[in-house]
Chain A
């Protein structure tokens, strides 16, 4: 049975149970985070853009790593996810442009990756696979039926994380 395909935009999160797939396109400096609980075949994909939410009134929780991961865990837990069983994979955090004489420009990808790793460690969730850094965009998708995560980049074969 083919389930529904869900598309996650920038600064958003979607999740599904049973089957179907969730995809997010062209992660540049952003990071895609998948969480999958194989026991109940519940999986989600979060697409964050920046490390931390500085304005607590900002309603866009999924735009930031800190509020996004927190809210994703809260939502998935409400549907039965157990952190101890959950498989977490991340991709993205690239540096698309290198500006000479300004090495801090475009570091946001690296900062995002560091933040995501730190937050997940604090949540005691282990990252089983990651594909971050580099200078190219990535499309990330998760198959909800089996938790398989695929990363697509331009000019390279698909990679299973």
Chain B
């Protein structure tokens, strides 16, 4: 049976997504660790299929400022990947890379934003690399695009993009732990429904 929406995924299928995510996240952590010259641990990611408001609640608050990097996937898998930095995560990255710390996103300049975009892109790319190898599909990635804005507004992008197909998002909670501190960030991988079916078929779990 082919899935018509994210919420039709059964437990086994969700488990498979969790397994791939866990491998993807550890690759991303390795890249981040090399970049920051720091040991980074990960928590086993949670994969959840959430509505818009649930996703906002899970990550933060509607009007909270966050930095986000978005990359579009094409070729065998079509969809979007969104990486969200909350302030603490952004600060850790900027302190290590540029040696600056902030109390709000509004104090950052173009250079800081550009550094965050680059790190977001590296995390997304290593995640997708692991994913393509594991699933055996080719994925092309667009040039990354970034913004610093209200979390609620950023999450409307994938919701509107697939609004005619589904009201849900697939949220992967990729938690990085550095010096014992959990950094808050969010990775949203959003294959379109056809691509989701292809992934599950390739992995032999499509029910």
Contacts and interface: CB of A to CB of B under 8 A. Distances in A.
Nearest to B70: A97
B150 A30 contact: no
B13 to A, nearest CB: 25
Interface residues of B, number: 31
A154 B160 contact: no
Contacts of A29: 156-157, 160
Nearest to B145: A97
A9 B53 contact: yes
A154 B64 CA distance: 9
B31 to A, nearest CB: 22
B113 interface: no
Interface in A96-122: 96-102, 105-106, 108-109
B96 to A, nearest CB: 25
B156 A28 contact: yes
A130 interface: no
A26 B145 contact: no
A154 B150 CA distance: 7
Interface of A: 9-11, 25-30, 49-50, 54, 60, 63, 94, 96-102, 105-106, 108-109, 135-139, 152, 154-155
